[in-house]
Structure 1
Amino acid sequence: MAYATTDDGVRLQYEETGTGRLVIFVHEFAGDIRSWEPQMRHFGQRYRCVAFAARGFLPSDVPENPSSYSQARAADDIAAVLAATGEKQAHVVGLSMGGFATLHFGLRHPQLALSLCVGGCGYGAELEQRPRFQAEADTIAAFITSAGMPAFAEKYAYGPTRVQFENKDPRGFAEFKKALAEHSALGSANTQIGCQGERPSLYDLVDKMRAMTVPTLVLTGDEDWPCLAPSMLMKREIPSAALAVMPNCGHTINLEDPDEFNRIVGDFIVQVEAGRWPKRDPRAVSGSITGMKS
């Protein structure tokens, strides 16, 4: 079992497999290091793959103070894991909370990123939804603290963008829910308070997005309603971004349809490695619909 140590002394447990270019997988709030097993097995045949448990998620450390959790720390934790591997750069693939961390990693540490796959990113991002999202983060933290993780898992796992997973793969969904129930209550509550509820809106990051040059793939399910508009925002504002939408999929896309997820992400990494990932042609941005102005 390998550990990376962050600049504030938190130990992050990580696992690795394979050889070659480094690919780091960053899990979502309801997931953990185990969530990336289909990707570790697939991409580990071609690359050096690393998955790690975020701070607050066992067997990584669980800081007791919510102030130890933030969006900036989540991004910097990826850099700490990268440093621990001894590599200088990595392809980074994140989902949901991990997707936000991946985007912010690209904003804060662009020199360390070979590419970014920003999956399922957008919950609470729309400005009019922020008060509601922040209130829900507080509600979730309070419920976890009072009722515990098993009771929380019984509710949270059946959210409107996760029932698609249950309908497609009941066995996989049951495994996902069981793992969620095993998470640290303290770590999960603190993650909601310090990281989820306090992260900046994507709509406040537009200027930074416009300056990004790291090859970026924005990936979402077409029934992951809170992520559709924010995904379009990232596609529009990041000059090096493409958008892929997985049909009939909810939020947990890497587990819900791992074959399609792996195909899309694999093609993306291959194009980046070949030096064939484009930046947007300025001629594609016009005030005219057809390019023929009167």
Structure 2
Amino acid sequence: MKLYFEEYGRGYPIIFVHEFESDLHSWEAQIRYFSRSYRCIAYNARGYPPSDAPDSPAAYGWEIAVHDIDAVMRGLSISRAHVVGSSMGAYAALLFGLWYREGASAIVAAGAGLGSPASDRENWSRNATALARTLAARGIDAMAEKMAGHSTRIRLKHKDPKGWQDFAERLKQHSARGMSNTLLQCQAVRPSLYDFRDQFSQMKAPVLLAVGDEDDPCLDTSLMLKSTIPSAGIWVCPNTGHAINLEEPAAFNVQVERFFSTVERGGWGHFDQLRQSVSRHENSTAAGLTFDGALP
């Protein structure tokens, strides 16, 4: 299985994991920005040429998508990296943080959680299966414009018409077979992120959850993840839908850079860690005062 990747810049590595309706090109604004000081690697998931797009649905799966992050890192001799994912890629990035705990030094999950709320589960699975069958029968050219006009893209179309047009044109170049298999084996059948709450409560990696305030299913799921993952913070971008890094690239880059900087200097932690740190400091101060008072 061959996965196509592009690499820019030097420094500590960042792995970018794309969403379902796009590919590595969706990270262009982030790679241009972060490659000034980081080693940026973006790859196309299996099913997205020029990565291999196997005919067999058995070659796809949500678990496989998580393991592919590790495969990319191993192939590039990277043992540890920051991981940034969007939507489908955010799902994989979060589970990578669970399954490969030593591999992720920090995780950014943007627009995580489509299909996760209990109220959405049935419709999510049914719609993903129906779209997969339509793609297989009619091809990507017939479906690209409709997919690009979905409610999750309305904000992008209004904010950045040129960016939306580029997104729609790239969509036409995708593999209908690859996307259909991805829908059937990843999207339609993947567990809800709520199913991993117990595991997420033990997660050690620092996490930044990025979500638009108009991305309702992902907003609810991000709030759940914020309350569950000990070292998670949440950034809610106003007047923004699902494609947060495309809709507001400058704001997204600032928030992610601030997160990475805080993690790298050891300042990112959850409340219990901070409270313990303060308690240790106070105890040390108290011990010092007692000792000083005992001097002759």
- Give the alignment's TM-score, normalised by structure 2: 0.91
- AA paired with 1:22? P
The alignment yields a C-alpha RMSD, in angstroms, of 1.2
- AA paired with 1:105? F
Matched-pair contact (CA < 8 Å) for 1:93–1:117: yes
Which residue is equivalent to 1:135? 126
- AA paired with 1:17? Y
Which residue is equivalent to 1:35? 26
Which residue is equivalent to 1:263? 254
* Cα deviation, residue 153, structure 1: 1.3
Pair 1:65-2:56 in alignment: yes
Which residue is equivalent to 1:101? 92
Aligned pair partner of 2:82 in 73, 80, 91: 91
SS in 1 for 2:4: strand
SS in 2 for 1:205: helix
Q: 2 CA distance for matches of 1:140 and 1:104?
A: 25
Percent identity reads 44
- AA paired with 2:210? L
Which residue is equivalent to 1:48? 39
Aligned pair partner of 1:243 in 229, 234, 244: 234
Aligned pair partner of 1:209 in 200, 205, 211: 200
1:107-151 deviations in Å (ceiling 9; x for gaps): 110111111101101111012321111101111101111221122
- AA paired with 1:184? S
Unmatched runs of 5 consecutive residues or more in structure 1: 1-9, 285-294
* Cα deviation, residue 155, structure 1: 0.8
Which residue is equivalent to 2:165? 174
- AA paired with 2:120? Q
Decide whether aligned partners of structure 1 residues 186 and 264 sit closer, same or farther in structure 2, where only a CA change above 3 A counts. same
Which residue is equivalent to 2:10? 19
SS in 2 for 1:219: strand
Q: Bigger radius of gyration, 1 or 2?
A: 2
* Cα deviation, residue 283, structure 1: 9.8
Q: 1 CA distance for matches of 2:80 and 2:63?
A: 19
User: Which structure has greater helix proportion?
Assistant: 2
- AA paired with 2:39? R
- AA paired with 1:275? G
Pair 1:199-2:175 in alignment: no
SS in 2 for 1:226: helix
Pair 1:121-2:112 in alignment: yes
1:65-101 deviations in Å (ceiling 9; x for gaps): 1121111111110011111121210000000000001
Matched-pair contact (CA < 8 Å) for 1:222–1:245: yes
Aligned pair partner of 1:110 in 79, 101, 104: 101
Which residue is equivalent to 1:154? 145
Pair 1:233-2:224 in alignment: yes
* Cα deviation, residue 253, structure 1: 1.2
Pair 1:253-2:244 in alignment: yes
- AA paired with 1:208? Q
- AA paired with 2:32? R
SS in 2 for 1:111: coil
Q: 2 CA distance for matches of 1:94 and 1:218?
A: 10
- AA paired with 1:176? F
Q: 1 CA distance for matches of 2:2 and 2:95?
A: 20
**Number of corresponding residues:** 275
SS in 1 for 2:189: coil
User: After the TM superposition, which of the residue ranges 187-196 and 269-278 deviates more from structure 2?
Assistant: 269-278
Which residue is equivalent to 1:145? 136
- AA paired with 1:83? R
SS in 2 for 1:217: strand
Q: 1 CA distance for matches of 2:19 and 2:98?
A: 19
- Give the alignment's TM-score, normalised by structure 1: 0.91
Matched-pair contact (CA < 8 Å) for 1:161–1:223: no
Q: Structure 1: which 4+ aligned runs deviate by more than 6 Å?
A: none
